[in-house]
Structure 1
């Protein structure tokens, strides 16, 4: 088959079809999701396989299991679909100045209440409807609505905030480290977040009188939150050689586990402040003092920032907002 013919079969619909079958685990599940009959999906997949001269699914498996070639098509197809979405978003942004969607990656340590306040303020804006003929030109008032940009948030941990930005999964990352991993990334400081080493009152370290050494801490299970990076090298902070580790999916889960005495570890000072005051957690001095230098970052593309991103960047320039994001 000629290259042009292969391009004709690798349509967005065909790629989305393979993705749906892989996600649902069956042709029937994908058919329900796409509103088609299973036989139509089977026919479409066979056409795609014949055109590419490969086998995409292992028919001997009980469920729809991708072959190695199918896995590669799924991986590259998802990337291509994301790029097509990005093109559509850029076209709409150029036409109206507002992005179709703005995705913001937020480190798990960032305070959520201020984010909700910012979302409310963003949605409270009133912008003119981008219609070809404005009502004002016909003698009536111009229609105003909330910004047309859909907001999407994703929680990341450590290197995950950078990876989301670099991979194009986020337009803005809040809570990154200081060093941008690419030349086309802009980065500004938010501030410094202190962490406390805390244990439950009945934990063996709770009654230790002196500053805890690395050797003393290493004898006890440490609780960590897993780095969400998949492609960048994930980071591990606070774990000592040979130490027993319990890894949890979020800081809130880590906080709850330490309240129950399941282990020890560092937590953001604002998160543990109330629990420490109520005697539910005990702060211990250690050989190491831990702070995080948080930043926010965004891609510096050839086009000016869309109106939604520009609004969020303007809010982040406020010292009051930056302090609130850290809970300080």
Structure 2
């Protein structure tokens, strides 16, 4: 590999000269002789074959090439500083970054409350959150796309090295828009069960990419509208495009306003299905351990 003339020491020298306004003051900051700073710049110019400074009266001013090197060099200095911090954090057992997969039916308020506590304790921790549906969350955990899965539905995949802790399931309701045929008037469960197959289902698509996808909630009928997120599902229901199961807390305001109506049905739901917080047993990070503890306490 060809040796580069641009070293971290050279970039720090250019940065100090620019911030302090002179070679002499930069030398003072770097604890070097002024002649050593001048020699460092001269040597860099010779190796690169460019002029980095030009004289303007009694001052040395960066050329266009010098300004480009300084601006881009500062990005490198920032990145190396960040990397050093990350290595130090990792050496203490705290991961620099934690990736979360939230099942679409998970209630966000207690989850973000736990995250707020974690970030107060570890403000440098970087969080990456994504929404998962059904098998998609388990697959993301298996494929190392996430570190912690929250609200994962049963069953727990076997022989995958997962640790799973039971949490209360979401209270799922079958709802439709107030102007939907199933939402306009009260009907007995038997009548609704007979009518359901003729109405469009709003389904949040399983986010699994490779494993066999699953369906939950309404399991009959041929008309289906697939959406990507729970928010999209709620908006589709409000628009009267079909019926579907949603967590009560996510639509309570719409139920109170009368925009959505609960549909009584004996159709299968996920209301009583167990849910889990899950992670790989091999993951020993302190951030994951602390967050799983906070979530267990908050969600219970």
Question: Considering the TM-score relative to the shorter chain, is it more than 0.5?
Answer: yes
Aligned 8 A contact 2:151 2:169 in 1: no
Whole-Å Cα distance in 2 between the matches of residues 178 and 240 of structure 1?
Answer: 17
Q: d(CA) in 2 for partners of 1:250 and 1:115? A: 17
8 A contact 2:176–2:182 mirrored in 1: yes
* Residue aligning to 2:145: 169
How large is the RMSD of aligned CA atoms in angstroms?
2.4
Structure 2 residues without counterparts, runs of 5 or longer: 1-85
Quote the residue 2:98 is aligned against. 102
Q: SS at the partner of 2:233?
A: helix
SS at match of 2:292: helix
Query: CA-to-partner distance for each residue in 1:270-313, whole Å, 9 max, x for gaps?
Result: 12222112211111211225214211101011x6x211111102
The answer on 1:193 being equivalent to 2:189 is: no
Give the distance between the partners of 1:220 and 1:191, measured in 2 at CA. Answer: 30
- Secondary structure at the counterpart of residue 223 of structure 1: strand
Structure 2 residue aligned with 1:157, among 115, 121, 133?
A: 133
Deviations 1:66-123 (A, max 9, x none): xxxxxxxxxxxxxxxxxxxxxxxx9877622111211111111112233332222112
Match of 1:268 in 2: 247
8 Å contact 1:161–1:175 — kept in the other structure?
Answer: no
Q: Which residue does 1:23 correspond to in 2?
A: none
Going from structure 1 to structure 2, the CA distance change for 1:92 and 1:159 (only over 3 Å counts) comes to farther
Q: TM-score, normalised by structure 2?
A: 0.65
The counterpart of 1:210, out of the listed 173, 188, 193, is 188
Contact 2:90–2:96 under 8 Å retained in 1: no
Once residues 207 and 288 of structure 2 are traced to their aligned partners in structure 1, the CA distance between those partners, rounded to angstroms, is 24
Unaligned runs of 5+ in 1: 1-89, 126-145, 324-328
Distance verdict in 2 for CA 1:179–1:219, change over 3 Å: closer
SS of the residue 1:153 aligns to: strand
Residues 99 and 147, structure 2, Cα contact 8 Å, conserved in 1: yes
**Structure 2 partner of 1:19:** none
Aligned 1:182-261 pairs, distance under 5 A: 182-183=158-159, 184-206=161-183, 207-211=185-189, 212-261=191-240
Query: Equivalents in 2 of 1:300, 1:226: separation in Å?
Result: 28
Match of 1:278 among 248, 251, 257: 257
Shift in CA distance, 93/232, structure 1 to aligned 2, threshold 3 Å:
farther
Task: Give the structure with higher Rg (CA).
Answer: 2
Change (3 A) 1:254 1:114: same
Q: Is the 8 A contact 1:214 1:240 kept in 2?
A: no
Picking from 270, 273, 276, the partner of 1:295 is 276
User: Does the CA-based 8 Å contact 2:101-2:131 persist in structure 1?
Assistant: yes
Cα shift at 1:196: 1.1
Determine the C-alpha separation between the residues in 2 that align with 1:281 and 1:315. Answer: 33
Residues 130-177 of structure 1, C-alpha deviations (whole Å, 9 max, x = no match): xxxxxxxxxxxxxxxx45432111111111110111001111100112
**Contact 1:98-1:148 within 8 A present in 2 as well:** no
Give the CA deviation at 1:213.
Answer: 4.3
Partners in 2 of 1:109 and 1:178 — Cα distance? 13
Per the TM alignment, residue 214 of structure 1 is displaced from its structure 2 partner at its CA by: 3.6
